[in-house]
Structure 1
Amino acid sequence: MREKDIRSMTYRLHISLFFFYLLAFTSSYSLNVANFTICASTNLYKNKIISTVQDSAKIELKNKIDKAANDSLKIASAYFEYGQYLNNSGEKEASIDYLKLAIKIANKTSNKAQIAEFDNYLANVYWQAGIYQSSIDTYILAYKSAAITQDSSQMAKISMNLASNYNYLGDYNEAIKYALNALKIKETAKDWERICYHYVAMATIFKETDNVEKWDYYIQKAYKLKDVENCASFGDIAKIYNNLGSIAVRKGNHKKALIYFDSLLVLSKQAGFDKGISAALGNSSNIYKELNQPEKALELLLESEKYFGDPYEIISNNNSKAELYRLLGQEQKALDLVMKNTSLNDLRFYSMEHENTLSLLSDLNADLLNYKAALKWNDSLRILENKLRDDKVRKGIEELETKYETAKKEQQIELLTAENELKNQGINTGIAIVSFLVTVIILILYIVSIRNKQAELKQNNLRLQVLRTQMNPHFVFNALGSIQNFMLKNDARKASQYLSQFASLTRATLNNSTAETISLADEISMLKNYMALEKMRKQNKFIYSINYDDDLDLDFIRIPPMLNQPFIENAIKHGFKNIDNGGILEITITDKKDWVEFIIEDNGEGFPEGKIKGGYKSMAMSIFENRRKLIRQKYKKDFKFEILNLNDEYPNQTGVRITINIPILNND
């Protein structure tokens, strides 16, 4: 090909390339412009949404203030809620302004409970914003307000928040002072809600000062209460397992440590608790490093980075990865990671990781032959170590904690002494009560014995009275006189018959007067003999009958003796007093399962008007009432007793009907 043709082709090629690059540049520019436009639109849309949300929150705030009218408490609460909203939205400065406004209004109402709540929240926002001294000052104000209200739960929470602040700032004496105060409040009030949080916070202070014994002591206290209702939140439980694993590492028990960290990992994954997951993975990585498995350890660290949420995790992870890279011979990569920690302001607040960072910087620079830098970082390390291991600091913390534990033990001794005194008093009181009860029981038994004797004596007297009633001289002499008349009239048959009945009645009366119960057959036989003799005495002025069912088991049924005779005597003596003949006396006996019903009915004159209502009682009726009371007292059984003047219900009839339900005493 000729040189001219070659130049021509080269020229055309350059022209083509020029247009190609121009087209590519134009396209690229267009795409960038389009992307910029899309991003700008998206950001504008996002800002519009945020603005809309903020506007709606402000409208809600205004509505709450309008509804509150002149109620300062509600207005303060409205500003407080809006301050919380701003804090959650990341607007710390605006949040602080509204929270301060809420506290100002609350102070005017002197509502200390509300002031304590608002100040506690504001102090936390100050801390998040890095305004540490204002946070501490505000916590102190919150504590004073809570102390006025005697709200032990709020006081303990605020005091422990102060302890955490001071611990973060490295002022361990103040930290332990407020932590012990929080514990004292909780334990004195026996308030076990979130008590594990307080024990973990105490343990953390001793961990930072490398006091493993006390660190372990308070974590074990928290561990024992972690499953008790309301004693721990999930976050508290996660911290307990994390600390138990770390303590096991410090004691050289790697197997036990891995078990605790695995438990933490499982629990945290179930609950979606990122902080717990990252802590479990990071701490497990440290163990595998100690077991000389750096690849496995590095794998766990890289996985843990997915769950980071605060500066401590970043600092700790950088140190751990740097140690692994050093083991793998990648010292420069390790040094770069550790140097990142020095650019983080939060490093100074984590004493152990700060110490670890300085130690790594010294060692890694020495490995890379940077001896001047190694010496510089080593000097910084010694200064920090002296601060952390300062005997005054350690002794001050331990003395405060020891004083607290001693005071608590003295208080427990006082309580035990008081309890023993109360127990002794209780024993003495118990002995006195028992002695009193024994005396009362003996007295009751004595009284019961006397009453039983009196009742027995009374019953004997009643028996004698019944005997006298039935066998009174007038009845005996008249009965014997009537029998004598039959003998004089040479009516030997009737005289013998009545004499036999008289003898039977006398024998039955003497026998039954001392008996508790008699058979129904004996009662009927005695009544028949009595009425036959009375009929003979009254020269047949009346007739009588005893009616009962043929199936009635007269020999089996047992009843108290001689309860009916006094009423039969009254019927004959008073009812038939003014008649010469035609008297009728009927006795009807019916089995009523638990008692025997006797109905005694005559057609005599009846009671004069008003005598029944007026409570008239003959001697026989008085004896009956007394016997009835004794039977009720002894056998716990009562029986019905009714008297009816027949003329009161039936104007064409005369006479009296008496109904007696006598209890059956077969089983007594």
Structure 2
Amino acid sequence: MKLVPKHIWFVCVMLFSTVLLAQDNSRSLNSQPKFSVRGSVVESDSKNPIPNVNIEVNGGSYTTTDSNGNFRIEARKGDELTIKHKDFETVYYTILNNERIKVEVQPSIEDVKYSKKKYSRTNPELFKSLIDSAETYLKKDAKRSVQFIEKALGASNSSKENGEAYEVLGDIYLQWKQFDLAVSNYRISLQNTSTNIVKLKLASAYKQNNNYQESLQIYNSINKNQLSNWQLVELYEGLGDVNLLTKSYQASINAYNEGLKVAQKHLISPKVTDLNSKIAQVYNAKGETQKAKGFFDESLKLANNENKKRAVEEKIKVADFQNETNNYSGEIQLRKEALKQISEIQKEAVLSNESALTAQKQNYKIGNAYASQKDYENAIPYLKKSIEEADTKEDLIVQKDATRRLSEVYRDAGEFDKALVAYQSYVDLVDQLYSKKEQEISQAARFSKDIVSKQNRILSLESDRALSESKYELNIEQTKRQNIIIYSLIGGLVLLLVAGFLMFKYIKQQRLANNLLALKSLRSQMNPHFIFNALNSVNSFIASNDERAANKYLTDFSSLMRAVLENSEEDFIPLEKEIELLELYTKLEHFRFQDKFDYNITIDKNINKNDFVIPPMLLQPYIENAVWHGLRYKKSKGFLDIIISQSTPEEIKITITDDGIGREKSKALKTENQKKQNSKGMGNIKKRVAILNEMYKDKVDVFIDDFQDEEDTGTRVVVTLKKDYKINELRFLINDF
């Protein structure tokens, strides 16, 4: 009898335990007992109870608070409690046990009195106090901060104040990683008041939103002679960052060096350290580790002359570099030094779990470095310390990683029992982290929805304000025109030019509107020939007592009709939806003519279906022609082949081929009525393509030719579809009209 090696036995035990744990977790999630949760809802300032508050559990239970603000509701551990009322913002609370819950809420921003003094709209103190309040809440409560900006815009009386308000709004979104909204508000700020500070912020927001070319364009457009020394360093640093992200390493080094020269000349010490560190990172990315080491040594020496936090940050960066170059001894030494300084920093400030400076992360990386050297005796204590600290600070991510690494170290050290215990702990932590991430995703979705809603309200306010200002300026202009007769002729000429421009714009918009109307009309004309034949097929199935086939066909047909009606109001739909319609339609035709043809639909796996949009039911007439006028009359069984491929990154080709009798034979077989029907169908699609190409500058191309040189020539239709329709621009023009 052969003995099973220990490492194989360990793997088997771990796999078996993982299955048991997964089954136990699944059963426990579904069998959590319900318990009664009691709580109350009161105002945070006055502590007065709030009656008639909506209390709901995501599992379905619902109740309201009584006159004393109290409530009781049935729930399970892990359920989310939603607390809603018209006088305060919705509160979400995750239930952990049956402890009593006390919810303190703040009144809506509309009910807050900013000062005992009654401000008028023209009082500049009101605007300043609102901006200050927004900046106070900027890092603590994004929604409340945005509400203060909304009020500040209502109190604004100049373009300068508007620019300041939108700048702070951009800062809020940048802080909360809503980079696209930050970009929008910085741009609005610049439209009101153009400043270099906001331009630098806009370039940075573009960079963080991955709009690298736009970021470079803004940085390069700034007049360097108008910048302060600090701003000039920021500009070069930003250029270096963008070029590093786009892997333009030499351009990145050049930009960092320019910034370094300015920082050294004007003794901007923090930036000298930062830029040395960043140049080192670029050389490391290029694979020039010796040059990277030289700059890292310099940045580490400079950082030691700054504050403790900056010194520790640089030590950790250099330690990460040592890890990448497998210099584990150097890495361990730096991280141990950093650990001592981190304990001092924590006495003065609280470090969040997201910070790279936490003790649990450094202990984990020290243990990992020892393990990489196969020094398991030293690795185990540091990994255990990391797990304990992560557990204390509720850092599940580090706790999970350290536990997994500890299990691996025990395994490599031959302590399989301890490895199995550690691995089981790791599995439990993965489940906890998964549950936590689900809650965070749900909360992030709500947060994003609330923020977008508030942003839309602010933009609406800005539109109303702009309209009021336009009316006011128009009245002033009319008064001036009445008093300045000498300029009447010039004014008349200006008005004539404006009228001509408006007329040109109106005609252009009218043409676009007519095109859209024509498209809508053509979309609504789905081929009645297909519908009539489809219903006849259902009738024939019923007549032959084939109810199963009739029901199946009618079900698929109704699905197709529903999809067509849902897309009937859309100018364009995603390519993915059109493919679904095409597959369903082809399936229906094959169902009716199974003895006449087979078909295949091939889609290039490299195509990103979300990158392309297509007019709805653009391809259906070509499929119908292939079946009804080509394959149906073929003596032998034919084949319909549909291929969707990507010829270039900017366009795709949809090729529809059939080996039917061909266009010439089909034309000879048609009756006068059939010729008329086909003419209408193809005429419809030609009009649609012509209108689309007129509106979007040749974005759709259709080529039709014979498929082969045999007796049955067949037909090939190639539809070329280009990306980047300027749909949003067109709709903006139509809405403006």
The reply to whether TM is greater than 0.5 is no
Instruction: Say which one has the larger Rg.
Output: 1
TM-score of the superposition, structure 1-length normalised?
0.32
Structure (1/2) with the larger strand percentage: 2
TM-score (norm 2): 0.29
